[in-house]
Amino acid sequence: MINFWLSMRYFAFFFTWGVFLPYWTVWLVEGKHFSVEEAGMIVGTGLVFRALSSMYVFPYACRKISMYHLTWLFPFISTVIVIFFIPVQSFESMIILMILFNLCYPVLLPMNETISTLLSKEHTIHYGRSRSWGSVGFIASLLTVGFLTKSYGDDVIIIIMITGCMVIYLSSVFRTPTALKKTTGKERKSFSLLFKSPNFIWVLMICVMLQGSHAAYYNYGAIYLENLNIDKVLVSVILMLAVVAEVAFFAFSNTLFKRSTVYFMFVLASVASITRWVLVFLFNNPGIFIGSQILHAFTFGLAHYAFIRYVTEEISEDLMPLAQGMYAALAMSLSTGILTLVSGYLYAAGPELPFLGMALITAPALLISGMLMIQGGKTNLIRRGRMKSEF
């Protein structure tokens, strides 16, 4: 039952995530009639404040309120805020509303991951399978948006988002595990404690580059495809392919990478990321874009899985909210926000240029993860040698 509850929570959240990531910029441009640069600034500003909410608001809330109550509190506030997007028209008002929304709604991302790690301490949780239902929710939202926008126009995007947020709230109050009733600790923990864990700073830097490199794809991928004269429904199907690959990855992640080291996984994710963005840049072709979608299983899925593995193996339970908050803040929010702003200007110069920029951003991640893998291999050899000499 706990696995079912967790799976449904992932499904509900990522249904809205599938609206917010690829189609929010579309709604701002087509529905609210902002320019691409203005839409990029609105989304980017929101992402910057998302970083603050994940790094400070979420850990603070965890100290004051039990996770049991937080599971429904943040979805409720998010639903109320998103309704106010309908009457807002001016650029300045939209910026303010995006800031408020991003101080609340994105907290659900690190919250879900923290819930998974907390429950795994007391129950048998199959993270990969539960997380794959989030990907299924993402697919469902892409199909829903594709069909409804073709029939009713881009204005329906906000209605789908409001409905999705309401579903998150309803799923949050359904049989919440009692194990979440305790707070993660009332004592304030310093972020500096995380850096005492082996290589945490390097792992975080790798994630910042790998996850941040999706900024151009998330915010301009749909517009990029529509400019290639691809039908709206087909755009949704193409975007869905990446999530299908992600679902397949999470479904078999434990089996495929159970014996792999975290650093090897980061190397593989880095190679896939560079390959993916270079292909899109070089070939302004729908077929190449479609083929590159399969690599999402590694550019996002494997990178995310590797970080979760690192947190589970190296971070103590009382520091997990801080680790997840910092990951969501820097890797999933701040880096994406900054690169969204950059991608907006690159897109204005050429639709393919943002993807070249993302490939360049990812290159250092390959270097760092490769060095860590080599270092880890040497450490293991030394340990084996010592063990052998002692026996």
How far apart are alpha carbons 167 and 158 in whole angstroms?
14
- At 390, the pLDDT band (50, 70, 90 cuts) reads very low
In total, how many domains does the chain have?
Answer: 1
How far apart are alpha carbons 302 and 309 in whole angstroms?
10
pLDDT of residue 184: 54
Assess whether pLDDT exceeds 90 at residue 127. Answer: no
Assess whether pLDDT exceeds 90 at residue 265. Answer: yes
* Residue 215 neighbours by CB distance under 10 Å: 27
pLDDT of residue 16: 93
pLDDT of residue 222: 84
Residue type, 228: L
Contacts of 111 (CB under 8 A, 6+ apart): 58, 67, 70, 71, 74
Residue type, 93: S
- At 190, the pLDDT band (50, 70, 90 cuts) reads low
pLDDT of residue 381: 40
Tokens 């049989």, residue located: 175
- From residue 250, how far is each of 272, 300, 301, 381 by CA, in Å? 16, 11, 7, 31
What domain range is 265 assigned to?
2-390
Which whole number is the average pLDDT over 64-87?
89
Among 37-41, 374-378, 382-386, the minimum mean pLDDT is found in 382-386
Assess whether pLDDT exceeds 80 at residue 177. Answer: no
Assess whether pLDDT exceeds 50 at residue 84. Answer: yes
Assess whether pLDDT exceeds 60 at residue 368. Answer: yes
User: What is the average pLDDT value for the chain, to the nearest integer?
Assistant: 84
Among 81-85, 175-179, 342-346, 351-355, the minimum mean pLDDT is found in 175-179
* Residue 294 neighbours by CB distance under 10 Å: 16
Report which of residues 340 and 16 the model is more confident about: 16
Report which of residues 31 and 333 the model is more confident about: 31
Report which of residues 47 and 290 the model is more confident about: 290
- At 386, the pLDDT band (50, 70, 90 cuts) reads very low
Q: What value does the CA radius of gyration of the chain take, rounded to a whole number of Å?
A: 20
pLDDT exceeding 70 applies to what percent of the chain? 91
How far apart are alpha carbons 355 and 361 in whole angstroms?
10
Which whole number is the average pLDDT over 163-186?
75
How far apart are alpha carbons 169 and 163 in whole angstroms?
10
Contacts of 224 (CB under 8 A, 6+ apart): 289, 347, 351
Question: Taking the C-alpha atoms of 289, 280, 329 and 337 in order, what is their torsion angle to the nearest 10 degrees?
Answer: -110
How far apart are alpha carbons 66 and 316 in whole angstroms?
18
Assess whether pLDDT exceeds 90 at residue 323. Answer: no
Which whole number is the average pLDDT over 243-249?
85
- At 69, the pLDDT band (50, 70, 90 cuts) reads confident
Sort 21 into a burial class: Cβ within 10 Å, 0-12 / 13-18 / 19+: buried
Tokens 């970083």, residue located: 51
- At 122, the pLDDT band (50, 70, 90 cuts) reads low
Assess whether pLDDT exceeds 70 at residue 188. Answer: no
* Residue 349 neighbours by CB distance under 10 Å: 9
**Domain of 247: which CATH number?**
1.20.1250.20
Which whole number is the average pLDDT over 220-230?
86
pLDDT of residue 364: 95
